[in-house]
Amino acid sequence: MRKIRDVLRLVDAGLSLRQVAASLGIAFSTAGNYVKRAEHAGISWPLPEDLDDDALKAMLFPSPSSPGAKARPAPDWEKIHRELRRKGVTLMLLWFEYREDHPDGYAYSQFCEHYRRWRLHLDVVMRQSHRAGEKLFVDFPGMKIPIYNDHTGQLDFEAELFVAVLGASSYIYAEVLRSQELPYFVTAHVNTFEHLGGCPEIVVCDNLRSGVTQPNRYEPDVNATYQEMASHYGVAIIPTRSYKPRDKAKVESGVLLAERWLIARLRHERFTSLAEANLAIGKLLTWLNARPFKKLEGSRQSLFEQIDYPALRSLPTERYEFATWRRARIGLDYHIEVRSDHHCYSVPYRLVGEVVDLRVSMATIEVFYRHARVASHVRSYTSGYTTDPAHMPESHRRHLEWTPTRIISWANAAGPATGKLVEEILVVRPHPEQGYRASLGIVRLGMRYGTARLEAACNRAASVRSFSYRSVESILRNGLDKQPLLKKSPSLTHPRHNNVRGPDYYQ
């Protein structure tokens, strides 16, 4: 078998049969016979790694049938392979149907052995078995697509190509994204499901930071937003194991095809927008999915329509709305802040001091405590407060002893200027509780800078009627409290003397 392997290897390297025969010390006719048998068996170099000598011998030199033996009808192995991808279909079932049509056909053990040998003809990735509609593999190629500025002609940014591959049909979807960041990553999944017209059971992703917050071989932590999107579509997220390339062999093959037939073919194009790039990618995708397989009947498009699409789950009635999640502890004023908007939203006062989950979408702010929603507000993009009266305590505090009087008293302990400023902060708010956070923050500045400097800073802030924590903190941080306050300039008056002409002079 070593000689046969060497013959196939050298022929694949471009040597003639005579050169191969001379190199290996065998007859020219023997080398030609080996090559013909390999072509007849449908195998070529490189051979599959798990093809041992016995299997190779059986494929190249099949046992001749006895003279009186009747040839058994061979199954359509491509059809068998395709049917196995359907849900619930097994080799036993297919053999049973085969024997119904051909009672004199192979026994079950022979049927399985012949199918195993036939599968050896396929590529390694194609030999992996995936059920219809079961898995969608997603990843990003290493190559990027440059996007240029329409006005200057300079490079604006390098876009990422998101690639998704269905396991059973190898159908490919691709989309150009601005980056791999979470909003684009999640939206690409939503677009993929809508393009496919349904949802798979499982999405297999790489250990990208957008999808996995804490990689782990056994229990990786999936990003909360990514997990919420998956729950919305009824999909399970399974990250690949680190250093286990076979976990994502299907998408690696798809990524390679995307680099060769999508990105490389567009290397001479100059795109000025993501929409323009996606339009070009879409046209090439249609061609790539319709391209016939080399060793299987049909194409990715035809297999998708026959196998994967009927097995996909239906899309939900509503499209997923992107939202970010974070944890926050409720402050004394029973409000939580969306820092990007500088806006605070109320929660039930009884949750003061508790840790809650905050869901921030484009339109709403939702607060969850122990997986139950306890507050919901329309999102505001201007700084300020949104307070639901139902969240306010009936008697200022049930679980909290702070009151405006106590906070002012505490501020007065630092000095009268501090007390006066805190009192003004509580007065100008629609509800005194909304000023608790700023007031307590001002008092705590005395612990960092000292009460003397705090008094001077509050005096300066009050002189310009800037009643806020940020103003006092800025004065202290920049040392303005150490500068003397500017006194008002006295009004100018003209002295009375004989050289001054009176109004009568001009009449």
Q: Contact 316/231 with Cβ under 8 angstroms?
A: no
Lowest mean pLDDT among 104-113, 237-246, 392-401: 392-401
190, containing H or E segment:
helix 182-196
**249 or 67, higher pLDDT:** 249
- Scanning 234-299, the segments in alpha helix (DSSP H) are 249-258, 274-290
Per-residue confidence band for 348, with pLDDT thresholds at 50, 70 and 90: very high
Examine the pLDDT at 129 and tell me if it is beyond 80. no
Strand duo 372-378 + 236-239: pairing: unpaired
Residue 237 pLDDT: 85
**396 or 427, higher pLDDT:** 427
Domains of the chain in start order, with CATH, are: 2-61+73-119 (no CATH), 135-311 (3.30.420.10), 323-391 (no CATH), 404-482 (no CATH)
Examine the pLDDT at 158 and tell me if it is beyond 50. yes
Residue 339: partners with Cβ closer than 8 Å, 6 or more residues away: none
Nearest residue to 454 (alpha-carbon basis) of 409, 419, 405, 402: 419
Examine the pLDDT at 503 and tell me if it is beyond 60. no
Residue 248 pLDDT: 55
Per-residue confidence band for 95, with pLDDT thresholds at 50, 70 and 90: confident
Question: Rounded to whole angstroms, what are the CA distances from 288 to 130, 173, 283?
Answer: 21, 10, 9
Nearest residue to 463 (alpha-carbon basis) of 408, 417, 396: 417
CA–CA separation, 469 vs 458, rounded Å? 10
Q: Is 63 helix (H, G, I), strand (E, B) or coil?
A: coil
Percent of the chain past pLDDT 90, that is, above it, reads 31
**295 or 39, higher pLDDT:** 39
Examine the pLDDT at 378 and tell me if it is beyond 90. yes
Per-residue confidence band for 208, with pLDDT thresholds at 50, 70 and 90: low
Residue 215 pLDDT: 45
Mean pLDDT in residue range 112-121: 79
Token pair, residue 484, equals 């003397």
pLDDT by residue (tens digit) across 168-188? Answer: 889 999 999 999 888 899 999
Residue 361: partners with Cβ closer than 8 Å, 6 or more residues away: 321, 322, 323, 379
